[in-house]
Structure 1
Amino acid sequence: MSTPQPQSHQQAAPAPNWQSAPGNAYTSPIPVTPTHLGHALTSEWTKIKSVRSTMWTLGVFLLLVVGIGLLVAVNTKDNDYSDVPYTIPAFFGLILGQICLITLGVLVISSEYGTGMIRTTFTASPQRHRVLTAKLLIFFAVVFVVSVLAIGFVGLITSGMHSGASDVGWSRSVLLGALYVSLLGVLALAVGSMLRHSAGAITAMLGLVLLPAILPAFLMISDSMRSLGETMMDYAAPNALAKIFQIDSETDTGVPQLTLLIGVTAAAIAGAYALLARRDV
C-alpha cells in the first residue's frame, strides 16, 4: 500500500513581466557621453600619427626643404640677400617638398577607402561630415606646423650664415609659404575624398600642379593665346611660391595666387562634403 505524498504548499513563481512599466525605462550602468567633434579630432589625430605614410612623407618633406635649403644657403653670398628674405633657400626645397604634402593629403583619406576601414570609421561615427571635418582640421594643423618649422629653420640658419646681409623681413614668407603648401595638401585631401582612389587622386593633383607650369610654353607660341599663357604661368604653383618668397621683386606678394588657391580649395571641400553625403561607402 503506497503512502500518499504530502502536497507542497509552495506555489509556482509567476512568469516574469518583460515589459517595463511606464516611467521605469532601463538605464545602462555604463556612462554614456554624447559624441562631438572633439572625439572625431582625437580619433583622426591617433590615425595620422600612427600610420607609416605620415612619418615617411613628412620625413621626406623635411629632408627636401631643410636639406636643399641648407645646400643652397651654403653656396650663396651676402650680397645675394640684399633685397630678398633669408628664407629664399627654402623655396627650392618646397618646389619638390609640396609633392610630399599632396601625396599625404590624398593618403589620409583614400587609404581608408582602399582597405575598407572607412566602413569602421563611419560605423563608429555615423556623422560623415564630422569625420571629414576632423580629417581636414588635423591634417592642416600638422602640415602647417611642420612647414613653418622647416621654412623657419632654413631661414634661421641662413640668417646666421649671412648676418646683416638682408633687411627684408622673412616671417611673412614663412607663414604664407607654409600656408600655400598646406592648402595644396588640403586640396589633395578633398580630391582624394571625391575620387576615393589613391593613384587617381595623386595623378589628378600632380596634373593640377604641373599642367599650369608646362602648358603656357605651348600657349605662348600663338599670339592670340599668349595672354592666357602668361596668366596661367603667373598662377602656377612654382611661380606662386616665387612671388610669396619675393624672388621676382618686392612688389610681388603672391596674395592673388594664394587667394585663388583658397577659392579652389574651398570649392573642392564643398564638393567633397556633397558627394560624401550622397554616395554609399
Structure 2
Amino acid sequence: MTAPQHPQPPAPQAPAFAPEAPQWTGGYLSPIPVRKATLADALASEWTKIRSLRSTMWTLGVMVVLVFGIGCAIAAAATTVDNNGSERDMSALSFGVFGVLLGVICVITLGVLTITSEFGTGMIRTTLTACPNRARVLTAKAIVFFLLVFTITLVSTTLVGMVAESMLQGQWTDRTTGEMWLRATVGVSLFVALIGLLALAVGTLVRHSAGAITAMLGLMLLPLVMSMFMYASALSEIKKYLIQYSIPYELFVLFASGSDGPDSSGPMGWDPVWIMMGVVAVAMGGAYAALMKRDA
C-alpha cells in the first residue's frame, strides 16, 4: 500500500514588474526619478525663497509707498505754485526722483538680505548641498532679484509719471518727450535694479547684513558728504567729480529734461546706466570668486 501523494504547490512566479524593479544596493533608494539639476530649478528655488520672506514684502512694500506717495505728494504741492505764465525748466516726470532716492535704500537692504540672511542662519549650507554649483546659485539669486526689483520700480515710476502729468495739467508737460519717458521709467528701473545687484554682490563679499548695508549706504551718501567739506579751490575738481558720479546725482540725470544732465560736463542721458553696469560687473566678478573659494 503506497502513501497518498500530496500535490506540490506551484512555484511562485515573479511579478510582472520585477525585471524593472530597482535593486537594493545598501543605500537609500529614492522612488522619485533623479535627474540633473538645471538653472531653471535654481531659479524656481530662489523665487520660492524671496517671495516667502517677510523682509521682501516689507522692504518692497515700503519702497512702493515711498516712490508713489512722495512723488505724488510733491506733484500735488507743485500744483499750488503759481508760475505766472513762466516756462518751467523741468518736466512732470522729474517729481519721481525724490521718492526713488528714498526707495533705493529699501532696494539696498533687500539686496543685502537676499544673500546674508542665508549666511547668518546657516541656510546657505543647505542651499549649496542641494545645488553644489555655487555659480549657479548666485546667478539664480541675481536674476530673480533683478527682475523683481526692475518690475516693481517700472510700475511705480510709470504710475508716478502719469499721476504727476495729470495733476499739473500741462504746466510742466511741454518738455516731456518719449525719450524722457523711457529714461524716467525703464532707465531708472534698470539703474535701481543694478544698485540692488551691487548690494547683493557686496553682501556676498562681506557676508554680514549690518556691515554690507552700512557699506552700501556709505557708497551712496559718502561722496556727497565729502564734497560738502571741500572748500579749498585746489579741491574743486575732486569735489565736482564726487558730486557728478554720486548715485543721487546720476538719478537726477536720468530724470533730467533733454539728453543733457544737470551739468553737461558730467554724465548725461543714459550714461548713469552704463556706468552702473560696469561697476556691477566688477563687483559680481568679485562675488563669484569669493563664493567659489571660501567655505560656506
Normalization by structure 2: what TM-score? 0.81
TM-align CA RMSD: 2.1
Is 1:74 the counterpart of 2:76? The answer is yes
Task: Name the CA distance, whole Å, in 1 between partners of 2:187 and 2:213.
Answer: 24
Decide whether the 8 Å contact of 1:112 with 1:118 is kept in 2.
yes
Offset, 1:264: 1.1
Is 1:204 the counterpart of 2:206? The answer is no
Is 1:108 the counterpart of 2:114? The answer is yes
Partner amino acid, structure 2, of 1:229? K
Offset, 1:161: 1.7
State the partner residue of 2:9.
Answer: none
Structure 2 gaps of 5+ residues are 1-22, 262-267
SS at match of 2:229: helix
Match of 1:231 among 241, 245, 249: 241
After TM superposition, the structure 1 stretch with the greater mean CA deviation from structure 2, 71-80 or 194-203, is 71-80
Offset, 1:258: 2.6
SS at match of 2:234: coil
Is 1:188 the counterpart of 2:199? The answer is yes
Q: Deviations over 1:83-118 (max 9, x none)?
A: 533322211111111000000000000000000000
Q: Among all aligned residue pairs of Structure 1 and Structure 2, give the percentage whose two residues are the same amino acid.
A: 47
Is 1:268 the counterpart of 2:268? The answer is no
Offset, 1:164: 3.5
State the partner residue of 1:143.
Answer: 149
Alignment of 1:1-281 (within 5 A): 30-77=32-79, 82-165=88-171, 166-167=173-174, 168-169=176-177, 170-219=181-230, 221-246=231-256, 250-252=259-261, 253-281=268-296
Decide whether the 8 Å contact of 2:112 with 2:212 is kept in 1.
yes
Offset, 1:257: 2.8
Structure 1 gaps of 5+ residues are 1-23
Q: Deviations over 1:10-64 (max 9, x none)?
A: xxxxxxxxxxxxxx99897532222110000000000000000000000110111
Structure 1 runs of 4+ with >6 Å offset = 24-28
Offset, 1:236: 0.9
Shift of the 204–178 alpha-carbon distance from structure 1 to 2, 3 Å rule, reads: same
Decide whether the 8 Å contact of 1:87 with 1:174 is kept in 2.
no
Matched residues, number: 256
Offset, 1:265: 0.9
Task: Name the CA distance, whole Å, in 1 between partners of 2:56 and 2:238.
Answer: 38
SS at match of 1:242: helix
Task: Name the CA distance, whole Å, in 2 between partners of 1:250 and 1:84.
Answer: 13
Decide whether the 8 Å contact of 1:240 with 1:254 is kept in 2.
no
Decide whether the 8 Å contact of 1:213 with 1:237 is kept in 2.
no
SS at match of 1:225: helix
Task: Name the CA distance, whole Å, in 2 between partners of 1:191 and 1:235.
Answer: 19
State the partner residue of 1:9.
Answer: none
Task: Name the CA distance, whole Å, in 2 between partners of 1:25 and 1:83.
Answer: 78
Task: Name the CA distance, whole Å, in 1 between partners of 2:259 and 2:97.
Answer: 16
Offset, 1:171: 2.9
SS at match of 1:119: helix
Task: Name the CA distance, whole Å, in 1 between partners of 2:99 and 2:115.
Answer: 26
SS at match of 1:156: helix
